[in-house]
Amino acid sequence: MSGSRLFDPVQLGPLRLRNRVVMAPMTRQFSPGGVPTAEVGDYYVRRAEGGVGLIISEGLEIAHPASVHSAAIPDLHSEAALAAWAGIAARVQAAGAAFVPQLWHVGGYRALVADRPRPDVPALSPSGLYRPGERIGAPAGDGDIAAVVEAYARAAAAAQAIGCDGVELHGAHGYLIDQFLWAATNRRTDGYNGDVEARSRFAAEVVAACRAATSPDFPLFLRFSQWKTQDYGARLFSTPDELGRFLAVMAEAGVDVFDCSTRRFWTPEFDGSDRTLAGWTRRLSGRPTMTVGSVGLDSDVVASLHGREQHSGVGRLDELDRMLARGEFDLVGVGRALLADPAWVHKVRRGALEELIGFDRAQLEVLT
């Protein structure tokens, strides 16, 4: 793959990446009290030294009391954490990669975790549901929604102030933004529910607030997905038209890059076409897209993270190369393969596929 487009530089507005490989965001929970340790910084820097073009951090807590479910998830609002992330971003950039923190609010998922921080603070969700039929509390009020939007905006502004290269909003996998997008968990009777555009309103408010809090050319990424941790077969959009309507709202609000999270990057999204979610998103929005989902491995994320398969070997790099060559997507998010092997990019670039290290679930327990 030495001649692959995977290793071409790419321009995202003012941000130039040395190649198209992105370290995908992966929750690690090695930051006691919300402050990333030196070991967390070293973990990211090793991937930058290993050749990736862009690192998107694990999901970070915004300054809303119900944002996360674990005290070991790093934040992006306390003085100590901001200082630590400023140092990490500078080190990653010195090693040749860009650094983008991911902003996260877990929404209703928080209610499922017994040892969550601030246990007296209730989980927040659009309709008091975690999944269909599973009530976890009261629906979010207008004040709750405004407070979360403001917290996202403050985090985006902080990211730019400490020298990061953009921010990503986690709008996928059944967390808060996604719970508004998903009709199964958004049962509201106000302007936040109804057609695609109405269900996209909360996401658009978050994006627009982050856009207003940062400079016009500060890259904003949005991660979204069809599948949810609550329902692997869930679908927000049944047709390209529905997807296109959502993308139009997000682009108008200020999204620059769409991170299209799937379980398998090669899977066609709609009947009658071999185009993937990232491919459709690129065509319909005209914005750069990132594919992600089992890149470089032979089993999907659900199988290897949730018990069916302990180990994932190397796979499907030839298919990735063909899809890049035909312009299906602009960026390639690599998750478990990079977690297993910090030198993944260098090895793939020189064709040393036999040297690649497969993913094992035991690797989740350590920072390497």
Q: What is the pLDDT of residue 308?
A: 57
Longest CA span, the chain: 56
* Per-residue pLDDT at 264 exceeds 60: yes
307 has a pLDDT exceeding 90: no
Residue 310 has what pLDDT? 58
- Tokens representing 165 are 């290269």
Asked whether residue 131 is domain-assigned, the answer is no
The set of residues, in sequence order, having a beta carbon less than 8 Å from that of 65 and lying 6+ positions away, is 118, 121
Confidence of residue 148 (pLDDT cuts 50, 70, 90): very high
* Sign of the torsion formed by the C-alpha atoms of 221, 222, 223 and 225: negative
Establish if 118 belongs to a structural domain.
no
204 part of a folded domain: yes
Q: Is the pLDDT of residue 182 over 70?
A: yes
Arithmetic mean of pLDDT, 11-26: 97
Domain that holds residue 356: 5-105+139-365
CATH number for position 235 = 3.20.20.70
Name the pTM for this structure.
Answer: 0.97
Active site residues: 175
Q: Are 234 and 178 in contact (CB under 8 A)?
A: no
Is residue 192 domain-resident? yes
Which residue type is seen at 86? A
pLDDT tens, position by position, 76-124: 999 999 999 999 999 999 999 999 999 999 999 999 999 999 999 999 9
Q: What is the mean pLDDT of residues 338-349?
A: 95
* Predicted local confidence at residue 303, as pLDDT: 66
Q: Is residue 271 part of a domain?
A: yes
Query: Is residue 346, in this structure, part of any structural domain at all?
Result: yes
The answer, yes or no, to whether residue 63 has pLDDT greater than 90, is: yes
Give how many domains the chain has, as a whole number: 1
Q: How confident is the model at residue 361 (pLDDT cuts 50, 70, 90)?
A: confident
Residue at 36 is within a domain = yes
State yes or no: pLDDT of 302 exceeds 80. no
Assigned domain for 269 exists? yes
